[in-house]
Amino acid sequence: MKEKKGDVINIGIVGAGGIARGAHMPGYQAVPGAKVIAVCDIAKEAAESFARQFDIPYVFTDYKELSAMDELDAVSVCTPNNFHAGPTIAALEAGKHVLCEKPIAGHAKDGQAMVDAAKKSGKILQIGLHMRFQSSSQTIKKYIEAGELGKIYYARAVAMRRRGIPSWGTFVRKNMSTGGPLVDIGVHELDHIVWLMGCPKPVAAAGHAYTMLGNRKDVAYSDWGPWDVEHFDVEDFAVAYILFENDITATLETSWAAHFGNVGPSFILGDKGGVSLSPLQIHQDKHGNLVDITPQVPRQREDPHTSEIRAFLKAIKGGSPSPVPGEEALAITKIFDAVYESTKTGTMIPIK
């Protein structure tokens, strides 16, 4: 079973669903020096179909058997949210680097176990938060780090769909995904905003998760078609208010289905300037005048998912830290745990 040749990084993929087919596999194919040699899925037919499509020699239904392969250097975990911890920890304990899809886990306790396993193993744990790798994100990050916004004190993260409930089943079931848009698309926008601000530490959060449209048969569908209304038991809209260290606050609005028009973009405010993220603009006052600066963003040369995989492989080869550390993703999941708890209690929840 030896596949190791020179500087090739051998990859195994756990979970043969849409994100593996549409993002991870194309990313590894696009980066020289990477080779996917194994795939695992609890559904044998799905794993075999994936292997045939991408000419992968080794097929498993048990992630522990995949992780035990001496030939592997790294593993991509592409399972539903509530099943990230098992394959991630198994791979790390077997001495493999891990790229795990967002969020880090369905709950913070599992995410913490993953972070602890990464520290113990000395291997890279990277979380798939690809918005950090957009050209616009990389551009505005430089402006913020240069102090263009001054003292940051507030941010608004927006991830809203009028209709966009996933029509594939695992996303709308709490026992598979933990939640709805909060952990699906809200995780991207909130992580993006927090990363741009320099990853301040969250100390408390309040919020509410609503199920208003997703469990109804009389709601208009989107272009994605009908979803599993009968088993829909997650939220379709959530709002959060988050307190961070250094007197920073943020809000998050996220939906898969809601009645709204234009709610505006995500933005960050500082005492020297602010930034709107879509379209990208910096807002300041200079010499007694209000000014708007539109940075010239370099053309996005590849899909951000491919860029995150390129960064993962570069870190492995160079022995450098994780491009998206598990600790940073864990902080976001702690916020989400607090929002769900706040939904039950109606109170602000401390984040430890």
Range of the structural domain that residue 182 is part of: 132-299+334-350
CA dihedral sign of residues 78, 242, 200, 294: positive
- For residues 82 and 224, state if they share a domain: no
Count the residues in the chain: 352
pLDDT tens per residue across span 88-115: 999 999 999 999 999 999 999 999 999 9
Please indicate, yes or no, if residue 90 is contained in any of the structural domains: yes
Please indicate, yes or no, if residue 329 is contained in any of the structural domains: no
4 has a pLDDT exceeding 60 = no
Please indicate, yes or no, if residue 1 is contained in any of the structural domains: no
223 has a pLDDT exceeding 90 = no
Indicate the DSSP class of residue 140: H
- For residues 196 and 231, state if they share a domain: yes
227 vs 169: CA distance, rounded Å: 7
CA distances for 21 relative to 15, 127, 192, 292, angstroms: 10, 17, 24, 41
- For residues 91 and 174, state if they share a domain: no
Pair of tokens at residue 251: 């809000």
- For residues 293 and 168, state if they share a domain: yes
Which residues lie closer than 8 Å to 126 by C-beta, 6 or more apart? 97, 98, 99, 100, 308, 311, 312, 315, 322, 323, 324, 325, 326
Please indicate, yes or no, if residue 188 is contained in any of the structural domains: yes
pTM: 0.96
Please indicate, yes or no, if residue 233 is contained in any of the structural domains: yes
Please indicate, yes or no, if residue 23 is contained in any of the structural domains: yes
CATH, residue 234 = 3.30.360.10
* Cβ contacts of 295-304, under 8 Å, gap ≥ 24: 295/139, 295/140, 295/143, 297/135, 297/136, 297/139, 298/135, 298/139, 299/135, 300/134, 300/135, 301/135, 302/30, 303/23, 303/26, 303/27, 304/130, 304/131, 304/133, 304/134
User: For the residues 149-160, what does the mean pLDDT come to?
Assistant: 98
- For residues 97 and 143, state if they share a domain: no
Which residues lie closer than 8 Å to 123 by C-beta, 6 or more apart? 92, 95, 96, 97, 98
- For residues 275 and 255, state if they share a domain: yes
- For residues 120 and 247, state if they share a domain: no
- E strand or H helix at 331, and its extent? helix 326-345
Q: How confident is the model at residue 7 (pLDDT cuts 50, 70, 90)?
A: confident
Computed over every residue of the chain, the mean pLDDT equals 96
Strand order in the sheet with 58-60: 58-60, 34-40, 9-14, 74-77, 97-101, 125-128
- For residues 26 and 86, state if they share a domain: yes
Q: How confident is the model at residue 168 (pLDDT cuts 50, 70, 90)?
A: confident
pLDDT tens per residue across span 173-194: 999 999 999 999 999 999 999 9
- For residues 80 and 145, state if they share a domain: no
Percent helix, strand and coil across the chain, each to the nearest 5: 40, 25, 35
- For residues 58 and 196, state if they share a domain: no
- For residues 104 and 225, state if they share a domain: no
4 vs 34: CA distance, rounded Å: 11
Q: 326-345 and 108-121 helices cross at what angle (nearest 10)?
A: 160
3-state SS assignment for residue 117? helix
Please indicate, yes or no, if residue 3 is contained in any of the structural domains: no
Q: How confident is the model at residue 6 (pLDDT cuts 50, 70, 90)?
A: low
Please indicate, yes or no, if residue 253 is contained in any of the structural domains: yes
- For residues 339 and 254, state if they share a domain: yes
| pLDDT of 3 | 42
What is the gyration radius of the CA atoms in the chain, in angstroms?
21
CATH, residue 82 = 3.40.50.720
Q: What's the total number of domains in the chain?
A: 2
245 has a pLDDT exceeding 90 = yes
